[in-house]
Amino acid sequence: MSATEFQVLLGSVGALLLVLGGGSKWLLMHIGSLQAAAALAQMESLGKLDSRLREEIQELRIELKSMHTEKKVLLRRIYQLEAFIHIQPNVILPIMEGWPPI
């Protein structure tokens, strides 16, 4: 192998390494940008999910509060009816056997 052939071979190997290095750099940059885009998309979807769940929790709290208020009104009415039954001397109470249904 002569010096010129060796020089050409060395230049070819150097060019090959340069091309592979550039390709590797591009591939790593491309993968990094894809990961950044995926992370951004994930953060956006998590933000949307977070806001939706907060709205649902708020709606459930409002519903629970209204049900609690309704329960208080119904219990107050039951207590009023029980007091009325005990005040009236000739009110016959029905037999409540089997109530509440299980």
Q: What is the pLDDT of residue 52?
A: 96
Q: Token pair 């953060």 is at which residue?
A: 43
Q: What is the pLDDT of residue 17?
A: 82
Distances (CA, A) of 85 to 55, 73, 81, 101: 45, 18, 6, 23
Q: Give the Cα separation of 30 and 20 in Å (integer).
A: 15
Tell me the pLDDT tens digit for each residue of 31-87. 988 898 999 999 999 999 999 999 999 999 999 999 999 999 999 998 998 888 888
CB 92 within 8 A of CB 86: no
